[in-house]
Structures are given as C-alpha cells and as structure tokens.
C-alpha cells in the first residue's frame, strides 16, 4: 500500500529519495516524508498530500547527508495528515522508521509504552514500533529491531536508522514487499525499496527479502539474517541471498509522451499481448508451451477441479479463465474472491488445483488465499506480472504475463495479459483432453492475430473520445454482456468507477430483466458488449428492451455490423475473433471510454482517490 525507499552511499540522499518516492507514488499518495542522517543526527521532513508538497518544503528547508529513508503513504491508521506521515520516531528523532503494513497489536503495545513514560504524537500504528525499538535499544540496532519485532503481530516492511548506531539502515520484512538494491561499487552504495521502480535508475541488481528476514545495509554492502535466530542462544547465521537482474528499462517506467500512464499502458497492449505469447505458441502442434509449469506437469495431467482466486480486475480475468477452461478443457472451475476464500473452510479434494492471479503479486488477500490452499494440501499455480513478487515465489509453478511495469492504478494491459495467458493455459490443458490438432491450430492462429486486432481498436480512439463527451456528465451507468463478455462488462464498469467516480455496474445481459431494468431511463447510459457471436440475437433483444424504456445505448459491435449499429445511440466497431478470445478485444474500447470520460471530468487518472496500485494489507 505504501512505498518505502532507503539509501546509504556516496551521493546526497535527499534528491535520490524524492525521485524514488515519485516512482512509487502509485502505491500510495496521501502524505510523504524523509529522514536523512548526518553526523549521527536525523533531519526529518514530512508533509501531507502528494510528494510535490514535500518537495516544496525541502526546497526551503533542505536536508544534507548520504544516508536516509523515505516513505509515501496510503493511510490505514490515522488520517492523511503531516503528523501521521512517515518517518516516525520515538519523539526526539533518535530512532526513525518508515513502515508499509499494519501492526495489529499496536494498541496493546502503545498502552504498555505509555506506562513506561512514552508520549505519542500521531494516531498511527507505526509510531508504536519506533518507540518500541528505542525502548529496547542497547547499542545494536538490528538486535533492538529483532527484539521489538518479536513482540509485534501484523505485517511489515520497515527501514530503520538510529543515531546510537549510525551509518547503517536496518530493514525487515513480514508480509509486505521489500527488496535491496546493490549500487555501484565505486560509490559504495546500497538501496532498499518496496518496488524496483524506485531504484531502477541506479541499479538492476536486486535481492528480494523473504518474510521473517532482516538485513543490515552499510556502505560496505548488505548482510541478511533470519529474525527468528536473533532471540535464540545460537549464533545468528548470515543468509546467502540470490542476486536477481532486472531486465526492465527506465523508459518502461516513464510516460513516454502520453498524458497519463494509463493511456500509455492501454496503447502498449498490442505489444504486451504479443509478449505474453512470445516463445509459447507452437503452430505445428497447435499447442502452447508454458515453461514455468514444467515442474507441475504431473499435477496438471491429473487435475479434476480448478479453483481460481484473485481480487479486483484479476478476479474478472479469472471469470474469463473459468469459461475458457470449462469450454475448451472440460474441467470444472470455481472462481473465488480471495478475501472470502482465505477465511472460508475451502474444500480441497484430491485433484484440486488452485490458481492465484495477481498483477502485483503482492495483494495480501490473494497471498493469504494461496497460503490457505497450500495449508489444505492443494498445489498452487500463479499467473503474475511482477517478477520475483511474493505470489510468484510462493506458488509451486506459474506463468508470468510479461506486461512490464504497470504504473496506472487502474489495471489495463495486465488484464489482457492475464487473458492471453489464461487462453494459452486452457489450450495447453485442452490439447491433453481432446481438443483436436485442427482446433488447436485455429486457437493459435486466433491468438497470433490479437495484437493486430487490438491495434485496429486503438484507431477508434477519436470516435470513443467523441462518445465520451456525450456521457461524461452521467452519474450512473450499466454494462451488459453475455458469455465471455459478461466479465468484460464487469471490467468496463470497474474501470469507469475507479477513475471517473461514476457509479457503474456490470451484469449478464439477461439478468437485467430481474431488477436492473428498473434503473433504465434517459439518464442511464447502457454499454453493451455485442460482437457477432452466438449470443448476438439475444443481445439485440436486450438492446430493444432498454431502448423501449428510453435508455441510451452504446454498443461494442463487430466490424461490418448493421443491425445493432442502426438501432443504438453509438456503436464502436471492433474486429471479430473466436468467441473465447473476443474479451481481449472487446475490453479495449471500454478502457478507452472510461479513460476519456475521466479526463473530461478532470479526474486524477493515474492516481484515483482512495485507491492504490497494490493492496498489501487486508
């Protein structure tokens, strides 16, 4: 939810920390702060609001030093004020700390610390940790942190400095993402961050911390330990951590001339869908090869039931996955909201495969759902975008969607990337369960044609912008589709809600008669997904029901459509493909429509209110 960054090295930390926070602003952007150590004194600067506010403050009151930590916040405990902004300290600035996560037993700890004479200045759970570390500090910071964390319940990614043990940043992780960046040798520098985007300008060499690990960063490098070993009699052993190389480039995390990251990412989809299939489609055999599932081949051969779990847009992708796997591979599939699945007593029978879908790979509910499935003996597979993320590392195998960094909070390219991978996975499973070579080759051809077809949809942007002008004053909207296009209706409605704040709902088109039709009048725009598939005539009837009640209709239709185009208020023609792949094409005009409406309403498209890119707390 929040973004953490830390630096120790030869450069001045201030500008580097601020730049890194800007790159993580999509994680949370309601307040920010930095603390920089110089001559064993901490300079702390904090400000409510966007990082720009903090920058203005620092312009007038800069902080010198080459060792510092920074934070951009998404409030969980205490409103987004300057007093609640991080870094937090024990009061005099001896111990300074930034935190991403939730300290669940903070009230109990706080009461005990107040009894010991501590005074608190914020309403946050995090401040408690700063006081606790300072309370147990006896000269060695990592020891103090380990002791303090042994009394903490909850999730955290933290970075801490102490004037009594200067020239080091100590970090620890449990449940929230944290990685170490190994800087240029000659500059003797080290980085820590919640997200590689924050430090990619300086290094591609990273070490991912796992839950229960603590690391000490100094100018000479980093040392990683198991937190649990600190309390025990024995020696605290060094952990040999693998160094990963990041192949994303800086350009990928820049806006590249687009007004917003979201628009850039919508336009990247022909490439990202192509990348999601690169090296995976085998025309000759009419099959898909998914290397990341190699170790799960036996499990996949014996699957009798699949449970797909996810949140938000990824949950909508899971619904399309259900249709694909049931229709093509004839495997029964259930789609579960991760936040519900984790607390229910899920039934895991032999032959059950659980699939976790997540763009960030860090969504707390999805992570917990897959852990619950594993606890119940299910093999778990991941479909993830962020390489090295927790879900990727905790699943038995999986497939990366290769969409590249997705900065816009509203997911777009990761959705079509997830669908492209689900279609290939369904093809892989189906070819082992009766789908013929010819049918397999048709599917491969259909997949190969998608990038070009999405390019053709993007050429409709001007038309879509004109349509958006007709609907940007709306206060409500309905999205309707059938079959594979029902989840697309849900996704279209979510996009509009997320970035334009217009209330919108998606429904199976036939469900409209059972209630939502009561909402229809001249003020209720209805967006139909109506390609020329086997449900077309049914949709035509639904459109008539809406028109009969004075509703205004926008329809996504197939190129060359006439029947509906003459009947609706606005039609957006898109290329036709196989029914099971149409969702990858039909969603794009809905992404653009939501984007254009939000821009016309002056909304902050990349950082919509109340949202964050990766929901790492439940």
Q: Is 394 in the site for ligand AGP (CB under 6 A)?
A: no
23 — phi, psi (to 5°)? -70, -15
CA 44 – CA 152 distance, rounded (Å): 25
Q: How far is the CB of 359 from ligand AGP (least distance, A)?
A: 4
> Applying CB under 6 A, what is the total number of residues that bind ligand AGP?
15
Q: How far is the CB of 188 from ligand AGP (least distance, A)?
A: 35
- Considering only 72, 89, 366, 485, the residue that binds ligand AGP (CB under 6 A) is 366
Q: Give, rounded to a whole angstrom, the gap between the first and last alpha carbons of the chain.
A: 10
Both tokens of residue 472?
A: 């940007």
Q: Torsion angle, CA of 483/484/487/491, rounded to 10 degrees?
A: -130
Q: Is 314 in the site for ligand AGP (CB under 6 A)?
A: yes
Please list every residue from 125 through 154 that binds ligand AGP, using CB under 6 A: none
Q: Which residue has the tokens 């369960």?
A: 433
Residue with Cβ nearer ligand AGP (195 or 275): 195
CA 565 – CA 15 distance, rounded (Å): 55
Strand 397-400 vs strand 380-384: parallel, antiparallel, or unpaired?
parallel
Residue with Cβ nearer ligand AGP (53 or 252): 252
CA angle, 178 then 182 then 185, to 5°: 165
Q: How far is the CB of 269 from ligand AGP (least distance, A)?
A: 14
Q: Is 614 in the site for ligand AGP (CB under 6 A)?
A: yes
Point out the residues that are catalytic.
Answer: 2, 613
Q: Which residue has the tokens 């051969």?
A: 301
Residue with Cβ nearer ligand AGP (215 or 391): 391
Q: How far is the CB of 362 from ligand AGP (least distance, A)?
A: 7
Please list every residue from 175 through 194 that binds ligand AGP, using CB under 6 A: none
Q: Is 615 in the site for ligand AGP (CB under 6 A)?
A: yes
Both tokens of residue 157?
A: 């990614």
- Please name which of 526, 528, 549 lies closest in space to residue 538, comparing C-alpha atoms: 528
Among the candidate windows 133-141, 175-183, 319-327, 360-368, which touches ligand AGP by CB under 6 A?
360-368
Residue with Cβ nearer ligand AGP (360 or 607): 360
- Please name which of 490, 520, 522 lies closest in space to residue 504, comparing C-alpha atoms: 490
Is the peptide bond preceding residue 87 cis, with omega within 30 degrees of 0?
yes
Both tokens of residue 497?
A: 């809600």
Among the candidate windows 192-200, 307-315, 427-435, 544-552, which touches ligand AGP by CB under 6 A?
307-315
- Considering only 72, 95, 358, 390, the residue that binds ligand AGP (CB under 6 A) is 358
- Please name which of 469, 466, 593 lies closest in space to residue 529, comparing C-alpha atoms: 593
Q: In what order do the strands lie in the sheet with 525-530?
A: 503-508, 476-481, 525-530, 552-558, 570-574
Q: Is 276 in the site for ligand AGP (CB under 6 A)?
A: no
Reduced DSSP (H G I as helix, E B as strand, rest coil) percent helix, strand, coil of the chain, to 5: 40, 25, 35
Other C-beta atoms lying within 10 Å of the C-beta of residue 21 = 26
Among the candidate windows 146-154, 193-201, 284-292, 312-320, which touches ligand AGP by CB under 6 A?
312-320
Residue with Cβ nearer ligand AGP (394 or 561): 394
Q: Is 360 in the site for ligand AGP (CB under 6 A)?
A: yes
Q: Is 313 in the site for ligand AGP (CB under 6 A)?
A: yes
Please list every residue from 405 through 424 that binds ligand AGP, using CB under 6 A: 409-411
333 — phi, psi (to 5°)? -130, 140
Question: How far are the Cα atoms of 33, 50, 237, 491 from residue 56, in angstroms, in the given order?
Answer: 12, 11, 44, 38
Q: Is 320 in the site for ligand AGP (CB under 6 A)?
A: no
Both tokens of residue 33?
A: 């702060």
Q: How far is the CB of 412 from ligand AGP (least distance, A)?
A: 8
Among the candidate windows 24-32, 88-96, 154-162, 353-361, which touches ligand AGP by CB under 6 A?
353-361
Among the candidate windows 324-332, 352-360, 443-451, 594-602, which touches ligand AGP by CB under 6 A?
352-360
Other C-beta atoms lying within 10 Å of the C-beta of residue 525 = 24
- Considering only 72, 359, 403, 453, the residue that binds ligand AGP (CB under 6 A) is 359
Among the candidate windows 28-36, 251-259, 354-362, 559-567, which touches ligand AGP by CB under 6 A?
354-362
Q: How far is the CB of 335 from ligand AGP (least distance, A)?
A: 14
Q: How far is the CB of 313 from ligand AGP (least distance, A)?
A: 3
- Considering only 312, 382, 404, 575, the residue that binds ligand AGP (CB under 6 A) is 312
Residue 325 near residue 306, CB atoms below 8 Å: yes
Q: Which helix or strand (DSSP H or E) is residue 223 part of?
A: strand 221-226
Please list every residue from 470 through 499 that binds ligand AGP, using CB under 6 A: 498
Q: What is the 3-state secondary structure (H, E, C) of 274-287?
A: HHHHCCCEECCCCE
Q: Which residue has the tokens 């720009």?
A: 52
CA 73 – CA 617 distance, rounded (Å): 13
92 — phi, psi (to 5°)? -105, 0
Tell me which residue has its CB nearest to ligand AGP: 312
Residue with Cβ nearer ligand AGP (95 or 358): 358
Residue with Cβ nearer ligand AGP (138 or 340): 340
Which is it for the CA torsion 340, 342, 343, 346, positive or negative?
Answer: positive
Q: How far is the CB of 366 from ligand AGP (least distance, A)?
A: 5
Residue with Cβ nearer ligand AGP (134 or 362): 362
Residue with Cβ nearer ligand AGP (360 or 395): 360
Q: Which residue has the tokens 């930034």?
A: 98
Please list every residue from 498 through 537 that binds ligand AGP, using CB under 6 A: 498
Q: How far is the CB of 504 from ligand AGP (least distance, A)?
A: 13
Residue with Cβ nearer ligand AGP (324 or 493): 493
Question: How far are the Cα atoms of 310, 323, 527, 599, 610 from residue 504, in angstroms, in the given order?
Answer: 21, 24, 10, 17, 17
Q: How far is the CB of 151 from ligand AGP (least distance, A)?
A: 30
Residue with Cβ nearer ligand AGP (326 or 618): 618
Q: How far is the CB of 415 from ligand AGP (least distance, A)?
A: 8
Both tokens of residue 308?
A: 């797909």
Q: Is 356 in the site for ligand AGP (CB under 6 A)?
A: no
Q: Is 269 in the site for ligand AGP (CB under 6 A)?
A: no
Contact residues toward ligand AGP (CB under 6 A) are 311-314, 358-360, 363, 366, 409-411, 498, 614-615
């Amino acid at each position: 939810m929040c973004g953490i960054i830390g630096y120790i090295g030869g450069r001045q930390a201030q500008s580097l920390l601020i730049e890194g926070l800007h790159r993580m602003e999509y994680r949370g952007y309601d307040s920010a702060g930095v603390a920089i150590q110089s001559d064993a004194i901490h300079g702390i600067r904090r400000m409510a609001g966007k990082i720009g506010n903090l920058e203005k403050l620092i312009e007038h009151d800069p902080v010198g030093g080459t060792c510092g930590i920074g934070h951009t916040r998404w409030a969980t405990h205490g409103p987004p004020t300057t007093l609640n902004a991080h870094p937090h300290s024990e009061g005099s600035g001896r111990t300074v700390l930034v935190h991403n996560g939730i300290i669940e037993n903070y009230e109990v700890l706080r009461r005990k610390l107040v009894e010991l004479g501590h005074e608190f200045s914020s309403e946050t759970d995090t401040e408690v940790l700063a006081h606790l570390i300072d309370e147990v500090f006896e000269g060695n910071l990592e020891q103090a942190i380990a002791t303090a964390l042994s009394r903490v319940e909850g999730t955290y990614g933290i970075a801490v400095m102490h004037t009594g043990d200067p020239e080091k940043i100590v970090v620890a992780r449990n449940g929230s993402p944290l990685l170490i960046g190994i800087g240029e040798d000659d500059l003797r520098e080290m980085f820590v961050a919640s997200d590689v985007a924050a430090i990619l300008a300086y290094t591609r060499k990273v070490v991912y911390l796992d839950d229960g690990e603590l690391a000490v960063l100094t100018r000479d490098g980093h040392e990683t330990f198991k937190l649990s070993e600190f309390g025990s009699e024995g020696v605290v052993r060094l952990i040999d951590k693998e160094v990963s190389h990041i192949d994303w480039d800086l350009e990928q995390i820049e806006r590249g001339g687009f007004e917003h990251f979201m628009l850039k990412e919508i336009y990247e989809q022909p490439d990202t869908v192509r990348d999601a299939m690169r090296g995976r489609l085998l025309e000759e055999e009419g099959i898909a090869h998914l290397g990341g599932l190699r170790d799960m081949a036996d499990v996949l051969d014996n699957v009798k039931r699949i449970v797909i779990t996810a949140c938000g847009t990824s949950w909508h992708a899971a619904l399309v996955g259900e249709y694909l796997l049931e229709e093509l591979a004839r495997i029964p599939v259930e789609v579960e909201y991760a936040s519900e699945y984790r607390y229910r007593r899920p039934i895991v029978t032999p032959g059950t495969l659980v699939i976790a879908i997540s763009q960030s790979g860090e969504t707390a509910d999805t992570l917990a759902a897959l852990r619950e499935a594993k606890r119940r003996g299910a093999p778990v597979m991941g479909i993830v975008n962020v390489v090295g993320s927790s879900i990727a590392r905790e699943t038995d195998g999986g497939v990366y969607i290769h969409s590249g960094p997705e900065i816009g909070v509203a997911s777009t390219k990761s959705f079509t990337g997830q669908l492209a991978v689900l279609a290939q996975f369904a093809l892989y499973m189906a070819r082992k369960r009766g789908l013929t070579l010819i049918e397999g080759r048709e599917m491969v051809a259909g997949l190969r044609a998608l990038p070009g077809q999405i390019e053709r949809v993007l050429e409709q942007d001007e038309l879509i912008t004109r349509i958006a002008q007709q609907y940007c004053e709306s206060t409500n909207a309905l999205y309707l589709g059938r079959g594979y296009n029902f989840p697309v209706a849900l996704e279209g409605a979510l996009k509009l809600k997320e970035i334009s704040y217009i209330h919108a709902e998606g429904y199976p088109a036939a469900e409209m008669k059972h209630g939502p039709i009561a909402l229809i009048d001249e003020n209720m725009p209805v967006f139909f997904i109506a390609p020329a598939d086997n449900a077309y005539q049914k949709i035509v009837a639904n459109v008539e029901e809406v028109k009969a009640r004075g509703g205004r209709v926008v329809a996504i239709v197939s190129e060359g459509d006439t029947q509906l185009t003459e009947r609706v208020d606005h039609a957006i023609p898109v290329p036709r493909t196989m029914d099971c792949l149409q969702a990858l094409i039909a969603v794009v005009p809905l992404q653009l429509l939501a984007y254009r409406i939000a821009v016309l309403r002056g909304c902050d498209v990349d950082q919509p209110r109340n949202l964050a890119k990766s929901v790492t707390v439940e």
